[in-house]
A and B are shown apart, each in its own frame.
Chain A
Amino acid sequence: MGRRVAVSRHEHFNAAHRLNNPDWDEERNQAVFGKCNLPHYHGHNYEIIVRVTGEIDPGSGYVMDMKILSDLVKDHVVERFDHRNLNEDVPEFRTLNPSAENIVVVIHDILRPLIDPVLDLKITLYETPRNFVEYPA
């Protein structure tokens, strides 16, 4: 059995969003979300760390070719989210509040089927340098 190693790729996207539950009234949305509920959107430089864990392939020395991983993240996540409004431009968030928690799960679910199931996948998403989320926890 080969050694298990985690390899990670770091990407980023810059996007606008706002937090709002359309089933709640304005007062409740403001009480729960504060400034994140302001109507004209705000934004973040999101940083993603995509972590793949598996055994080192004896032939290549790779767990996964990082160029392939980078292209997957850029083509399927960054290209769709970068310089976009997550609420308005990304279909997954039409009826899902684009909190960092929900965004990280969406990103995981986009990438999971594209990566060999024998490899473990974990996504870390920094919304700001001080706030980040991870999935699976």
Chain B
Amino acid sequence: MVYLTRVEHFNAAHKLYNPSWSKEKNDEVFGKCANENWHGHNFELFVTVKGVPSPDTGFIVDAKHLSAIIKDRVVEKLDHRNLNLDVDFMQGKMASIENLVLGIWHELKHHIPSGAELHCIKLVETPRIYVEYYG
């Protein structure tokens, strides 16, 4: 089994704010991340697929094709957007990277080209914070 990772990026705004809590509780739990006027990040997205290299191409999957799928199904929805307001699969959810990585997994899982299987999504919010989801 070989693992292939494609890296993409998107720049987005968000806030961590539970609308059923008071402002005081949001500030206490989320600190600066609860700023009602939003803040933002350059997110990096690592999509790892696994499979056996094809004897014809040597590929598990054509990385350019994988990139096009990621851009079409995920990056286009997230880049230069507001994660709380603009993203269909985040509606009704807290805009944490934990929830975002789950949403991205579900957007991609059934769209990976045949011959490969989605193995892991790693989402980097800052150089010091990232999440991973293995399904």
Contacts and interface: CB of A to CB of B under 8 A. Distances in A.
Tell whether A pairs with B. Answer: yes
B86 A16 contact: no
A40 B40 contact: no
Provide the main secondary structure of the chain B interface. strand
Given A36-B80, A42-B81, A15 B39 contact: yes
B38 A43 contact: yes
Interface residues of A, number: 22
Interface string A73-102: 000000000111100110000000000000
A43 B11 CA distance: 5
A134 to B, nearest CB: 19
Interface residues on B, range: 20 to 34
B14 A43 contact: yes
B127 interface: yes
B126 interface: yes
A100 B80 CA distance: 15
B40 A17 contact: yes
A40 B95 CA distance: 14
Q: Which 4 A-B pairs have the closest CB atoms?
A: A43-B40, A40-B82, A83-B32, A35-B80
